[in-house]
Chain A
Amino acid sequence: MSELYKVSSNPHIRSGAVTSTLMLSVVLALLPAAGFGVYNFGPRALAVIGVSVGSTVLTEYLYGLLRNRKSGGGKKTTVTDLSAVVTGLLLALNMPVGIPLWMPVLGGVFAILVVKLLFGGLGQNFMNPALAARCLMLISFPAAMTAFDCDAYTGATPLAVLKEGGEVDVFRMAAGFTGGTIGETSMIALLAGACVLLFLGVIDLRIPGSYIVTFSLFVVLFGGHGADPAYLGAQLAGGGLMLGAFFMATDYVTRPITIRGQYVFGIVLGLLTGIFRIFGPGAEGVSYAIILGNLLVPLIEKYTMPVAFGHGKGGKRG
């Protein structure tokens, strides 16, 4: 035995996909919405995004340093997996442009430190960190989080107008020229980003599809306007539905891993969003629907575990 070769168990080849490139593709897919937000709301939106992303990334980095010191070092930082960037960006896109800048810092630290890292880091959190932070802030600072008046827009958001029985311009809404949080207003920009993710296979239509279809049916049945396309269109284009359905409900960590479970999850989100928006006190309900849905994931998975190939029905003669 003159020379020994390296051995390992099979398989010996790997596909090209790695965690950081997946996260990077999500960041890139969010750029149209973020860019439109800056265009729509002005440069302050950029400041909110910068502060939010900066605080999530810094929290992840510092926590890594502290932990590393305790465990004797040697571990690489987890910042490079880019998941903190995704969280920070999503958080910023979920805030109004006029928010005091210390609030995104608080939200960013809470999202990364409390919701993610304290539960074990990437892959271990049971709630979407960005949404959990948003909900925390909605509860703690309801006024600042729903102050949608800014230089560009004043008055209620289209969904609030709709709730009061008023008229809205669906096309302006779809394009995004309305008040709201930084990243949620433009359905077109969001869908453009979502198409990239769908094309790259980073996400699929199971959750967004079943979510949006269920929500639409709910609106038609219980919205009080029947199948009025203008009303339904406004409900779909308004608020955080598109941002939530394509970018937050599809968050790998906090959605069911079973294929049937993903359909169930989407349906649950559609129902919850419908209930919150139509029967709830507020005009919006996407964030709470997804957070609540996240909590149901273990239960959904339990009842949608697949039956292995060749077991159950059709196992014998087909």
Chain B
Amino acid sequence: MLAAPVRGERTKENMAKLTFVGGIHPYDGKELSKEKPIGDIVPGKELVYPLSQHIGAPAKALAAKGDRVLAGQKIAESGGFVSAPVYASVSGTVKAVEPRRVASGDMVMSIVVENDEQYEKAEPLPRKPLEKMGTEDIIAVVREAGIVGMGGAGFPTHVKLSPKEPDKIDYVIANCAECEPYLTSDYRRMLEEPEKLVGGLKIILKLFPGAQGILAVEDNKPDCIKVLEDLVREEEKIQVKGLKTKYPQGGERQLIYAVTGRKINSTMLPAQVGCVVNNVDTMVAVYRAVTEGRPLMERIVTVTGDAVASPQNFRVPTGTSYVQVLEAAGGFRCEPAKVICGGPMMGTAMFDLNVPVTKTSTALLALTKDDVSALEPGPCINCGRCVEACPGRIIPSRLADYAERFDEQAFLDAYGMECCECGCCSFVCPARRPLTQEIKSMRKIQLAKKKKG
């Protein structure tokens, strides 16, 4: 095999199939959960709403201990521009406002609601009819609805939708890649409610008069491509594009490159190359907020893995405990070796299931085998597999060396901050070195330093 083009724009080869350079092909495990329709869930007695379910300032609690709240009632307001309000997903009484553990393991100030099982609904969000809405109105509703990027990052969506120069946006991309192994929530959503996804895309396109809408789907989901193509046949401004199936095809930088041939680095926003990217669930949330006045208070969660009795996707009210989510899928089939919030490549391992589903919880994955502890790391043999796999086109093995001996300058000079923590390098490393992990900790330190100034 000769080298794929390292740099440069569209070549004939990758024009044929939209993709990026690097990446990996892990076992995708999607067949476990992809066939079953999205199920519903019983939220349980106690729901926990962390005030920080997004990137940016934490929300400020509006509800206090003893208050009665309704499903769809705002219980915490936005703490700044880059922030998002939080809504109750059930009716009940506020039991406490206290720090609670979240999936990452951190303690986060949260509002705890005791479910009264009445599911009494609050008034929908005030809004104008869609035809009469202007740009500002739409963004205001999205902001008020507490919508954040639901693919995992949790960046407040209204910020993404308000770039400095909206006229210079050429593409609004719906990220339907779902490249993370095992996850099928976007897949089910596209099959079951494609009109809501396309509706959300059309609403966002209203904000950017010069933009093309693109539904970018990995080609391992031909059924989704077909459904969406049928749906947008009449739409002049919307196209469906098939992407090569490869992890991390749905990474923002890789997706933008695959679809448009434009490149951004870690310091740039998609809007700087004329792109706005939103994930499937986020676009559906936008649609429901704008047309139904429904705030963000539920999401689709994939419960899967070979340790789960009956893997399936569920429509889960935010705040529901993972214990409840697991129960809906029949509990564990056998003792799991590892339980992960999210996918196997970028998810967070959980030591305890008693944490709430938040706006950014994509999945509960339980595996019977833990690859990480199964084999001991050895010395780097310089094989270069990490270099081939790295979508950031950096040299993970060297960056991990710099991180290990805390050589900050060398780390920065070698573009260490360009790592997107996708995990490809650790996945391929034959010496089983924890490359991603080492680079990740160094990045964390550097980001904290930068923040401090």
Contact = CB atoms under 8 A, between A and B. Distances in A.
B1 A198 contact: yes
B92 interface: no
B30 interface: no
Contacts of A4: 351-352
Interface string A3-35: 011111111111101110110000000000000
A185 B376 CA distance: 40
Contacts of B379: 121-124
A307 interface: yes
B153 to A, nearest CB: 14
Given A18-B375, A257-B398, A309-B418, A7 B105 contact: yes
B181 interface: yes
Nearest to A198: B1
A246 to B, nearest CB: 14
Interface stretch (B129-137, B201-209, B219-227, B366-374): B366-374
Interface stretch (B37-45, B112-120, B283-291, B426-434): B426-434
A136 B344 CA distance: 49
Interface stretch (B60-68, B261-269, B310-318): B261-269
Interface in A256-300: 257-260, 262
Contacts of B432: 14, 18
A314 interface: yes
A149 interface: no
B395 to A, nearest CB: 6
B415 A311 contact: yes
A314 B375 contact: no
Given A17-B430, A19-B430, A9 B440 contact: yes
Interface residues of A, number: 52
A11 B265 contact: no
B81 to A, nearest CB: 26
A11 B338 CA distance: 12
Contacts of B395: 257-258, 305-306
Contacts of A204: 1-3
Interface string A102-143: 000000000000000000011110000000000000000000
A13 B342 CA distance: 13
Interface string A179-210: 00000000000000000001001001110010
A13 B345 contact: yes
A5 B351 contact: yes
Nearest to B418: A308
A18 B371 CA distance: 12
Interface in B412-434: 414-415, 418, 421, 423, 426-432, 434
Nearest to A14: B371
Contacts of B434: 9
Interface residues of B, number: 81
Contacts of B388: 259
A309 B105 CA distance: 32
Interface in B370-417: 370-373, 375, 378-385, 387-388, 391-395, 397-398, 414-415
B361 to A, nearest CB: 15
- Give chain B's interface secondary structure class: loop
Contact of A257 (B344, B354, B382, B427): B382
B437 A9 contact: yes
Contacts of A166: none
Contact of A259 (B1, B3, B354, B372): B3
A18 B429 CA distance: 7
A177 to B, nearest CB: 32
A74 interface: no
Contacts of B79: none
Given A9-B437, A314-B8, A306 B426 contact: no
A103 B266 CA distance: 56
How would you classify the secondary structure of chain A's contact residues: helix, strand, loop or mixed?
loop
Contacts of A124: 379
B265 A5 contact: no
B394 A308 contact: yes
B9 A12 contact: no
A318 B427 contact: no
Interface string B119-131: 0000000000000
B244 to A, nearest CB: 17
B181 A13 contact: yes
Contacts of B423: 10-11
B373 A11 contact: no
A72 interface: no
A149 B402 CA distance: 52
Nearest to B431: A19
Contact of A14 (B253, B261, B347, B372): B372
Contacts of A206: 2-3
A21 B273 CA distance: 44
Contacts of A1: 352, 354
Contact of A252 (B261, B336, B346, B383): B383
B436 interface: yes
B415 A308 contact: yes
A122 B265 contact: no
A10 B382 contact: no
B2 A19 contact: no
Contact of B384 (A12, A205, A257): A257
Nearest to B9: A318
A233 to B, nearest CB: 23
B265 A311 contact: yes
A310 B426 contact: no
Contacts of B347: 10, 12
Contacts of A257: 382, 384, 387, 395, 397-398
Nearest to A205: B2
B234 to A, nearest CB: 30
Contact of B393 (A13, A306, A317): A306
16 contacts: A1-B354, A8-B349, A9-B437, A10-B345, A12-B344, A17-B428, A123-B381, A123-B382, A201-B1, A205-B1, A257-B387, A305-B414, A309-B253, A310-B268, A310-B418, A317-B274
In the A-B complex, the 9 residue pairs with the closest CB atoms? A310-B265, A11-B423, A308-B415, A7-B349, A308-B418, A14-B371, A9-B437, A17-B430, A123-B379
Given A13-B26, A204-B2, A305-B395, 13 more contacts: A5-B336, A5-B350, A8-B373, A122-B381, A123-B379, A123-B381, A252-B384, A259-B387, A306-B393, A308-B418, A310-B264, A311-B415, A314-B263
Interface of A: 1, 4-15, 17-19, 21-22, 81, 83, 121-124, 198, 201, 204-206, 209, 252-253, 255, 257-260, 262, 305-318
